[in-house]
Chains A and B, each alone.
Chain A
């Protein structure tokens, strides 16, 4: 009877009820659609981050704080044994998707045929492992819903191949040989006409030697660059790589100096004939939810084995990830707060009018023997029902709008990414968001009815019966 009366009273004032239910539905839609967009952005960035950098990174103790200035000094010795220890651990092993070594280095990259050079930031990886890492897709962001990148030209078979950032290709005048579109040629250098400014004879000889013939290209037609770096022992060392392609990096500074190469080549450059080490061991897990447990286990394992290693997760390496999550979280909270306030005031207004109009009815039912709590329950039931209808309608409309948007072919560039991806509202899989939004709005509508309901319950029976 309680809900029968509530429903009929809602239907009795159709226009007012329609406005109230619409306001709740709009609130639900706004929260759900923005929440779906936020979820999509965060999952997309998380996926892109994890498929390139993994969940956890094992480093020599101190590398994270001080090692970037001298990576070779923080090399992990006997890293293959460390990787085996991790893989064989009964707790960690089953949760691992990929475990791969990596090395960071820096130095000077030169294209002497074009008389250009600049500092580089290098990364040595195992190409086949990286290819497997890119297949990670825990959130099933398929069908073009994630940032898709062309396959890496690096391969396990040819350690001399490398990739460089688009900015570095431009700086080293490699746009034309690499057939890079939208890549302006470097301006011609003006010859210094200052007396005594002529190059030293030995340097002039070196340049002349380098520019002879077509020494800047290998047999496959790939341009070559020389990488100069200091070994762990401090001696200069040079290797040559064949540039197989470019990979645009998300930050210009990194893009202007990035060189990706095979792990073995990087080890040759940094360690020469000495023991080959790595600066990090990257772990990609099957499920992100296991990250904290695996990290704890790794730390315990390193302590037990007496290994001088530390573990960091991907959010520590990518502070932007945390910032983006917090930024979108703040906007979502703000939108949700506004919607909740609107719903609150709308329902309070509707229920207050309902109480005023039904004062005589309240008096009658009280005279028949309904307790004050019964009157309160009656109006709370109406508030709940308004919330139920509005929130449910909002969920349905949001699902329809999300479906339309997802099939409209819209694209956007996520923050911190270098390419455009299709705009997708991740609503279908966001069960937590849908349930939370629905519950919050229904609870808010019910709470909003509490004040008018209490006022109705407090009415004196005689006064209510006298009300016209």
Chain B
């Protein structure tokens, strides 16, 4: 399932995504082809409405391409049935949504623990990993707080902890530092870089944050659904 070291974790080949909204056809992604190797800090940049989020959705296996092929961790997603795609997401992909998207009735601890439940880990392992991750994002003391009892920055850190706790192959993040102050943002970036090195995790960001972009090892620029530029360089 997971490609050997050096093989791309994400491969998009001639991908087109067309939305049909009440007869109005919109081409959100227009014939994009690229690959993202493992253990990269990858940025997807572009103006609003350029297709960044659609691209993340396709790579996150929560949307399907109209034409073309999307491969994640060596798996052609189009060939998987619905349950298999869900299981694939649970095992390999972590999401950090711009609007946090925490489960409101669960505490910070339970939100972070949730992906581990889906993986079927035992209670002891879940507890150890959840507490370690909450500690890493500086929220151990807030573990029993519900999302509505946390600030925007704290919620975002819970969302980041939830994405990282299962140690996925790929983490897809939509403006992950948008709600964080610079100090917290820096510590979160540090945490993600550590995860990148220790777990060989690939991070793919859609962002406007110059500080985050400064850490990019690879940058894709898109506009109107087309890939305009591709830069490779170590941070």
Verify A12–B104 contact, CB threshold 8 A.
yes
Contacting residues of chain A (331-380) with chain B, CB-CB under 8 angstroms: 360-361, 363-374
> Does A465 sit at the interface, judged by CB under 8 A?
yes
Check if A364 sits within 8 Å of B101, measured CB to CB: yes
Is the CB–CB distance between B60 and A367 below 8 Å? yes
Closest chain B CB from A98 CB (angstroms): 65
Decide: B118 and A465 in contact? CB cutoff 8 A.
no
What secondary structure prevails in chain A residues at the interface with B?
helix
Q: Please determine whether A367 and B62 come into contact, CB atoms closer than 8 angstroms.
A: yes
Q: How far is the CB of B115 from chain A (nearest CB, A)?
A: 5
Partner of B101, one of A8, A371, A374, A465: A465
Identify the interface centre among B57, B90, B91, B103: most chain A CB within 10 Å of its CB.
Answer: B103
Residues of B within 8 A of A366 (CB): 62, 86
Chain A 451-468 interface mask (CB, 8 Å, partner B; 1/0): 000000000111001000
A454 to B67, CA, bound (A): 29
- Find out whether the CB atom of A367 lies under 8 angstroms from the CB atom of B103: no
Q: Flag whether A1 is at the interface (Cβ < 8 A).
A: yes
How far does the Cβ of B210 sit from chain A's closest Cβ, in whole Å?
A: 26
Residues on B with beta carbons closer than 8 Å to the beta carbon of A367: 60, 62, 89, 95, 97, 101
- Contact check, A369 vs B118: say whether CB atoms are below 8 A apart: yes
Assess whether A365 is in contact with B103, with CB atoms less than 8 Å apart: yes
Count residues of chain A with CB under 8 A from any CB of chain B.
Answer: 24
Q: Is the Cβ of A369 less than 8 Å from the Cβ of B115?
A: yes
A369 touching B89, Cβ below 8 Å? yes
Complex formed: what's the CA distance from A214 to B148 in Å? Answer: 99
Question: Does the CB pair A361–B114 fall under 8 Å?
Answer: no
A299→B202 CA distance, assembly (Å) = 86
Whether A5 and B62, one on each chain, are in contact in the complex, defined by CB atoms closer than 8 angstroms, is: no
Q: A9 in the interface, Cβ–Cβ < 8 Å?
A: yes
| Structural contact, A368 and B62, CB atoms closer than 8 A | no
* A360 contacts across to B, CB distance below 8 A: 99, 101
Chain B stretch 62-110: residues in CB contact (< 8 A) with chain A: 62-63, 82-83, 86-91, 93, 95, 97, 99, 101-106, 110
Nearest Cβ distance between residue B1 and chain A, in whole angstroms? 14
Given contacts A364-B97, A365-B103, 6 further A-B contacts (CB under 8 A): A1-B114, A5-B106, A366-B86, A367-B62, A369-B118, A372-B82
Residues of B participating in the A interface, judged by any CB pair closer than 8 Å: 57, 60, 62-63, 82-83, 86-91, 93, 95, 97, 99, 101-106, 110, 114-115, 117-118, 162
Q: Which residues of A contact B (CB under 8 A)?
A: 1, 4-5, 8-9, 12, 360-361, 363-374, 460-462, 465
Q: Which 8 A-B pairs have CB atoms at the shortest separation, nearest pair first? A: A369-B90, A8-B105, A364-B101, A461-B62, A369-B89, A371-B86, A462-B63, A369-B118
24 cross-chain CB contacts under 8 A: A1-B110, A5-B105, A363-B62, A364-B95, A364-B97, A366-B62, A366-B86, A367-B60, A367-B97, A368-B89, A368-B95, A369-B88, A369-B89, A369-B91, A369-B93, A369-B118, A371-B86, A371-B87, A372-B82, A461-B63, A462-B57, A462-B63, A465-B62, A465-B97
